[in-house]
Amino acid sequence: MEVVGRLVALLVVLVGGAGVRAIGVLDDRRTALLNDLAYYVALPALIFVSTFDRSIAALLSPALLGGLLLVVFGTAGVAWVVHWHRDSSARRSVAIVQSYHSNLGYLGLPLVAATFDPTVTAIASVVLGVVSLTQVPLTVVILSSLNAAGATVTGELRRLATNPVLVTLLAGLTIGSLGLGVPSPVAVGLDAVGSLALPVALLCVGASLDIDRSSIDAATTAAVVACKVVVMPALAWLVFSALAVDTATFIASVVMLGTPTAVSTFVFASELGGDPEFASLNVFVTTLSSIATLFVLITLVG
């Protein structure tokens, strides 16, 4: 029942974000400020307190790295086959990338931190870093190549190098690996700030959703949902079961890879020649669908 309560609360805050945007409480400027709070403050704080007392060797194993790469590229391959027949390249490219590009930072890591113990959260932080460094360049390549867009992988990698989430992850793992301490008051303060990550991020996701009836393509969206919140976590379950990783690694990997499509795919679609309205719809539907699928995943692994 505790898991049900957490996911119902997630849904309430998500819908609440859309509601306060609809009545004008969260306009574009306020939503942007709230998004900055989550992205530059709350989420980095959560990542740092999850990793600063742990060494990278204890968290990132060859099995974890290989398993994550296999699941991401495997799901992308399935999505390519499923969506390749779509007539519109703009819609086809979006459907492919949204079938594997996971919302690890705004939903995955905060949900894991709120549900499981610190060991699982620390590994989930590493999952976030590894998969982000994989899925962002892959998404840029697919959108750019299918839509003849001008963005480069090099440019996106340069942006990743200054990404606050990845910088904080590297800082936390460095301090943990070197055995350096962090004053207790600082750790407690950062922990309090990090607890804001999930509710603030959910408000941002809800406020960012923009559904245009003309963009509805039920069959394609259903295929995106099936790939993202059913096929990808199922593949993760099979891969990490076969790799016989420890329980914490298994839980962190399966739950993180079972998260819905990232809101950032809407931004990538807008910038790289994709169909932004279709992208927004898929973010909304995969997020709502993940309430049920994440409940099943968390119940099974927990």
Contacts of 135 (CB under 8 A, 6+ apart): 72, 100, 101, 102
Best CA proximity match to 187, nearest among 51, 56, 60:
51
Nearest-5° Cα angle at 106, 230 to 198: 110
Please report where in the chains the tokens 């963005």 appear, as a residue. 151
CA distance linking residue 235 with residue 67, whole number of Å: 10
How many other C-beta atoms can be found within 10 angstroms of the C-beta atom of residue 5? 9
- Sign of torsion, CA 93 225 16 298? negative
What does the buried/exposed string (b/e) look like for 231-251 if buried means 16 or more CB atoms within 10 Å of the residue's CB? bbbbbbbebbeebebeebbbb
- C-alpha distances (whole Å) from 75 to each of 5, 15, 244, 258 are 30, 28, 20, 12
Domains of the chain, each with CATH number or no CATH: 2-295 (1.20.1530.20)
pLDDT at 139: 86
What pTM was computed for the model? 0.77
Residues paired with 102 in a beta bridge: 261
pLDDT at 157: 62
- In order, the DSSP letters of 234-285 are HHHHHHHHHTT--HHHHHHHHHHHTS-B-THHHHHHHHTT--HHHHHHHHHH
pLDDT string in tens for the chain (302-residue length): 556 666 677 778 878 888 888 888 888 888 888 878 877 888 788 778 877 876 777 667 899 999 999 999 999 999 999 998 887 888 999 999 999 999 888 788 888 988 898 899 989 988 988 888 788 778 878 888 888 665 555 665 676 677 676 788 788 878 887 888 788 888 889 888 887 877 877 787 777 666 666 657 788 999 999 999 999 999 999 999 999 899 999 999 999 999 999 877 877 787 778 888 788 788 888 988 988 899 899 989 87
Contacts of 88 (CB under 8 A, 6+ apart): 275
How is residue 121 written in tokens? Answer: 């959260």
